[in-house]
């Protein structure tokens, strides 16, 4: 979505996805913080801290403007490697277009839908059949249905 220019089409300088600072493919189960945001999928998850898998070699968000110029939908919980596995500006793990319809995200919430898929899942939530990540996909489905 970033390289297609769909995230911030009106910006003179565009964001880019670059190779990880480690210069290698990164795969790990990490913590994300979902800030308050305006996106179709992640708006209702604002304020959450969730674990998720990352698996990428080109996951570094290079953002030429200050953080407040972006609709940030996910940030790595900690700034330093390996918790920010790619060196993304502002610890960003995902951004959305201003209207919230287009998302660029390097972690893989689809790989953490069930508690048994997670590298860590809170003991007090062991009875969950699905993780909170499913809410993003339900939100997308509801948005599509509302557009009919």
Read off the pLDDT of residues 8-29 as tens digits, 9 standing for 90 and up: 999 999 999 999 999 999 999 9
CB proximity list for 17: less than 8 A, separation 6 or greater: 2, 3, 58, 59, 60, 61, 62, 104, 106
| pLDDT over 90, % of the chain | 95
Q: Which of 124, 121, 4, 116 is nearest to 51 (CA)?
A: 121
Mean pLDDT value of segment 62-91: 96
User: What per-residue confidence (pLDDT) applies to 4?
Assistant: 86
Mean pLDDT value of segment 21-40: 96
Q: Would you list the domain boundaries of the chain?
A: 16-112+126-146
Q: What mean pLDDT is reported for the chain?
A: 95
CATH number of this structure's domain 16-112+126-146, picked from the four choices 3.40.50.880, 3.30.70.1020, 3.10.450.50, 3.20.20.70: 3.40.50.880
Give yes or no for residue 122 having a pLDDT over 90: yes
End-to-end Cα spacing for the chain: 23
């Amino acid at each position: 979505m970033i390289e297609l220019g769909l995230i911030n089409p009106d910006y003179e300088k565009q964001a880019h996805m670059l190779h990880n600072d480690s210069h290698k493919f990164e795969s790990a189960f990490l913590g994300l913080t979902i800030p308050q945001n305006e996106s179709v999928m992640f708006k209702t998850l604002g304020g959450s801290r969730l674990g998720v898998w990352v698996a990428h070699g080109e996951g570094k968000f290079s953002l030429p403007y200050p953080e407040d110029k972006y609709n940030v939908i996910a940030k790595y919980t900690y700034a330093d490697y390996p918790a920010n596995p790619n060196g993304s500006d502002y610890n960003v793990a995902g951004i959305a277009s201003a209207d919230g319809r287009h998302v660029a995200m390097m972690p893989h919430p689809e790989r953490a839908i069930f508690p048994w898929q997670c590298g860590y899942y809170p003991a007090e939530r062991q009875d969950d059949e699905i993780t909170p990540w499913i809410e993003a996909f339900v939100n997308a489905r509801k948005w599509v249905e509302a557009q009919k």
